[in-house]
Amino acid sequence: MAEAGYNTFLLRSEDVYIDLLTDSGTSAMSDRQWAGMMLGDEAYAGSRNFYHLEEAARNYYGYRYFVPTHQGRGAEHLLSQAVIKPGHYVPGNMYFTTTRLHQEMAGGTFVDVIIDEAHDPANLHPFKGNVDLDKLESLIKRVGANNIPYVSLAGTVNMAGGQPVSMANVRALRELCDRYGIRIYLDATRMVENVFFIQEREKGYADKSVAVILKEFCSFTDGAWMSAKKDHLVNIGGWLAVNDSDLFDTLRNMVVIYEGLHTYGGMAGRDMEALAIGIAESVNDAHVRSRVEQVRYLGDLLINWGIPIVQPVGGHAVFLDAKRIYSHLSQDQFPAQTLVAEIYLDSGVRSMERGIVSAGRDSETGDHRYPALELTRLAIPRRVYTQAHMDVVAEAVKAVYDARKQTRGLAMVYEPKYLRFFQARFEPIT
Ligand code: P61
């Protein structure tokens, strides 16, 4: 830990026992996906794998036009540069690190319009990812619809603890946006997991398949971007899809500058084939259920031991409430980063900070942003670990929790300018 500056992003993976840093690019590909890797058509232009991928995305998400990118942030970059102008406001259901940075770099200001319940780890609202339509409408009235290029809507909101958006909310959001002529673009990265919660919790959806619900949800939006490294079960890949043909022309032109030709966008042909197959596998109802329920299994172990976590348990990860666990530390002693380090030291389990370090600095004042949520994320890769691994993780968290009173915080000794959590270094406060 000392060598890695108390930052788990700076560890070598061979020094990790159970790796819950992220569920991004770390899931296990199926036999079919690996077979697909053997069918790579590596032509520079017009690879057959591209057409297969385009068809899969269109089939399951329903958008008209498709642009491949190397991963999610490549898509965020293109969309932000294409539609955000300096002075614009971009409302969204909680920030995501890369998403907000791209919006800011294009000259926009992100405005959080998620419901208040999302900022309270103990609140049991079943759809804590929902947009607060009153907050959104007052922003529209304050800055004018012309200054809002789109609403940035995310499925299973990552920074809120993997919390879903309901179908009723996206439907009402569509109505509101239609009244003001505002577009909605969806971060579909973990939308399949969001759909599972709709199927489980929302009236009228219990008998509908994940695939059917997914398409209905997307129909209320104007386009989506995707980090395919999550739901889609591949190690690398992403895409962007929209319904507007003029915007598509712009994006397809931009992709050749930043990513690669419009029929590969930074992916190899074999990657596109594995991705096309992964899209179809991702909407399998039994797969989604077992994935989300494995996460819940870990969460329930911790809840039963009285360890404070974000509830309800989210789709891709269990989030420990570091603010409550280390209530004797102030937020600028980095409680969640401290918890990450302690868990690794106890057991070799790797997790990730999602609190003040991740939130970064206010681009105007230069001060730390102090988010209400100070969380440590245990993200579960798909189709990789067993329940026995979850038991080991739970015991590690319990050991660290039991020693919480003796734990001191950290000081940041190196801070990069952008997305500081990836490369920052810390030292223990003595
Ligand atoms: C993750 F610590 N997520 O959760 P890319 N949207 C959403 C994501 O979750 C996401 C991207 C867009 C990661 C990797 C990661 O602060 C961090 O394919 C909802 O990673 O470019 C990525 O997609 C970006 C970890 C990203 C972070 C940013 O582990």
Which ligand 1 atom sits nearest the alpha carbon of residue 419? 16
Closest protein CA for atom 11 of ligand 1: 72
State percent of the chain over pLDDT 90.
99
Does 221 sit in the ligand 1 pocket, CB within 6 Å? no
- For residue 313, give the nearest of 327, 329, 328, 302 by alpha carbon: 302
The rounded distance, in Å, linking the Cα atoms of 266 and 255 is 9
pLDDT of residue 72: 98
CB proximity list for 289: less than 8 A, separation 6 or greater = 196
Which ligand 1 atom sits nearest the alpha carbon of residue 154? 19
**Most ligand 1 atoms within 8 A of CB, residue of 71, 97, 98, 375 to mutate:** 98
Residue with tokens 């940035």: 152
Measure 316 CA to ligand 1 centroid, in angstroms.
12
Cis peptide before 335 (omega within 30 of 0): no
pTM of the model: 0.98
pLDDT tens digits, residue range 270-323?
Answer: 999 999 999 999 999 999 999 999 999 999 999 999 999 999 999 999 999 999
Which ligand 1 atom sits nearest the alpha carbon of residue 316? 4
- Tens-level pLDDT at each residue, the chain (430 residues): 999 999 999 999 999 999 999 999 999 999 999 999 999 999 999 999 999 999 999 999 999 999 999 999 999 999 999 999 999 999 999 999 999 999 999 999 999 999 999 999 999 999 999 999 999 999 999 999 999 999 999 999 999 999 999 999 999 999 999 999 999 999 999 999 999 999 999 999 999 999 999 999 999 999 999 999 999 999 999 999 999 999 999 999 999 999 999 999 999 999 999 999 999 999 999 999 999 999 999 999 999 999 999 999 999 999 999 999 999 999 999 999 999 999 999 999 999 999 999 999 998 899 999 999 999 999 999 999 999 999 999 999 999 999 999 999 999 999 999 999 999 999 999 8
Residue among 44, 370, 414, 418 flagged as catalytic = 44
Does 423 sit in the ligand 1 pocket, CB within 6 Å? no
Decide if 110 is catalytic.
Answer: no
pLDDT of residue 131: 98
Decide if 96 is catalytic.
Answer: yes
358, 96 in Cβ contact below 8 A? no
Does 250 sit in the ligand 1 pocket, CB within 6 Å? no
Bridge partners (DSSP) of residue 361 are 368
Measure 98 CA to ligand 1 centroid, in angstroms.
7
Q: How far apart, in Å, do the first and last CA atoms of the chain sit?
A: 16
Decide if 135 is catalytic.
Answer: no
**Most ligand 1 atoms within 8 A of CB, residue of 7, 96, 378 to mutate:** 96
pLDDT of residue 363: 83
295, 318 in Cβ contact below 8 A? yes
Decide if 187 is catalytic.
Answer: yes
pLDDT of residue 25: 98
Average pLDDT of the chain?
98
pLDDT tens digits, residue range 357-393?
Answer: 999 999 889 999 999 999 999 999 999 999 999 999 9
Measure 23 CA to ligand 1 centroid, in angstroms.
9
Residue among 26, 97, 109, 189 flagged as catalytic = 97
93, 111 in Cβ contact below 8 A? no
Closest protein CA for atom 3 of ligand 1: 24
Decide if 150 is catalytic.
Answer: no
Decide if 354 is catalytic.
Answer: yes
Decide if 203 is catalytic.
Answer: no
Does 98 sit in the ligand 1 pocket, CB within 6 Å? yes
